[in-house]
Every structure is written in C-alpha cells, then in structure tokens.
C-alpha cells in the first residue's frame, strides 16, 4: 500500500519525481555550504599533516551525517535512527573544536539547522536552535577577542546557516507536495472523464434497450 505524503494527502509514489529532484538540490546546496570548511582546512598553515587528515575524515563524516539528518524522505518522516545520528552530529560538531577551533567554528550552523528539521514540536526545535547559538557565543569568543566579533560569527556562521538549512528542507517538502498535488489533480481529471464516459455509455445502452422493448 502506497504511503501518504504528509500534507498532500496523496500516495508517496505520486510525489517521487519532484521529491527526488528536491532532495538532490538539498544535497548539492549542503555540499556547497560545507565546501568552505574543506577550503579552510586546506589553507590552514598551522595544522600538521596528521591533524589535517583527521580533520578531513571528520568533516566528511559530518557531511554524511548532516545529509542523512536533513535531506528528508518524500513522506516527510524523520530518518531511521535519527536520535543516534543527531547525537553523532553533535559530537562531531563540538569535539574537533578542541584542536580545530580556528577552522571548525562554522559547523554549528548545520547542527542548528538539523535541530529545526528533526526536533518536534516546534518549541523544542527552536529551543535547540537557541542553545546552539548560545554555545556558539562561547566558541566565537575563543576565536574572536571581542563580543561584537563573536556575535558576528553567531549570526553569520550559525544562525543564518541554520535557517538556510531549515528553509531548504522545507522547500523540498513543498516541492514534493506540489508535485504530488499536480499528479493527484491529473488522476482526478482522468477519473472524471471515465465517470462521464460510463454515464454516457449507460444512457446510450438504456435508450437502445428502451427502443427495442
């Protein structure tokens, strides 16, 4: 039995093409956001070779976790095991900052977005978002000496990225719902034509039988 797309009221199969395209777009945009992190690691002169290798592996793992958490299924359900993967994303977001605070401070924005995408109800999601921003103030002060500069990092690196991640995920939901609705309308039109044809055929057969009788 086909699953129902949340908010669309039609089978998941109807939304599959649009949902697939939307998920690809989310993945590409997410990769573009993370590209800055890779560039920062490459251009950091203070990192030893071994540290840089560990950082690359950690960042790749963080990208995989983020895509798993935030590229949603066509039916809008959260991914299987999302509590564990979200916990792993929290660890990979903050633990590397002990050694990579100068190049890793941009990643909490993705965690903030993951909280908005995964946590329910809405008040819990926004509370998690606010907690990430609050922690990022302390992280920012470790990288930038003044509170103003730290707040700039919080707004520019965490808040805006988190909101962008959430907006892209919601846009993917809307694309899937629109695709499903369009397919459902087309199917409804076909059903109406079949019904009208059946009524016309029944009326014609009835008239013929009346003349015969």
Structure-model confidence comparison of residues 84 and 191, the more confident one: 84
Instruction: Report whether 109 contacts 165 (CB < 8 A).
Output: yes
pLDDT at 89: 93
Per-residue pLDDT reduced to its tens digit, 149-173: 778 878 877 888 888 888 887 877 7
d(CA 50, CA 36): 20
Angle between helices 108-118 and 160-212 (to 10 degrees): 30
pLDDT at 145: 67
Own/partner long-range contacts of 128-137 (Cβ < 8 Å, ≥24 apart): 129/162, 132/108, 132/158, 132/162, 133/158, 133/159, 133/162, 135/94, 135/108, 136/105, 136/108
Tokens 């916990």, residue located:
87
In a 10 Å sphere around its CB, with 0-12 CB exposed, 13-18 middle and 19+ buried, how is residue 169 labelled? buried
Confidence of residue 115 (pLDDT cuts 50, 70, 90): very high
Confidence of residue 174 (pLDDT cuts 50, 70, 90): confident
Confidence of residue 33 (pLDDT cuts 50, 70, 90): confident
Tokens 């490459």, residue located:
42
């Amino acid at each position: 039995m086909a699953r129902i797309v949340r908010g669309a009221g039609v089978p998941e199969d109807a939304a599959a093409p649009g949902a697939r395209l939307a998920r690809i777009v989310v993945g590409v945009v997410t990769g573009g956001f993370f590209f800055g992190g890779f560039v920062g690691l490459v251009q950091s002169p203070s990192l030893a070779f071994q540290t840089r290798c560990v950082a690359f592996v950690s960042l790749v793992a963080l990208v995989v976790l983020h895509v798993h958490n935030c590229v949603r299924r066509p039916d809008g359900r959260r991914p299987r095991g999302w509590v564990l993967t979200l916990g792993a994303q929290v660890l990979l977001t903050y633990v590397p900052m002990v050694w990579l605070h100068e190049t890793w401070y941009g990643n909490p924005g993705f965690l903030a977005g993951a909280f908005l995408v995964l946590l329910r109800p809405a008040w819990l999601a926004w509370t998690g978002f606010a907690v990430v921003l609050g922690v990022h103030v302390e992280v920012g002060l470790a990288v930038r000496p003044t509170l103003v500069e730290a707040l700039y990092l919080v707004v520019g690196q965490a808040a805006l990225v988190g909101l962008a991640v959430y907006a892209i995920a919601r846009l993917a939901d809307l694309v899937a719902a629109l695709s499903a609705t369009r397919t459902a309308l087309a199917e409804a039109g076909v059903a109406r034509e079949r019904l009208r044809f059946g009524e016309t055929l029944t009326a014609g057969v009835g008239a013929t039988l009346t003349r015969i009788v």
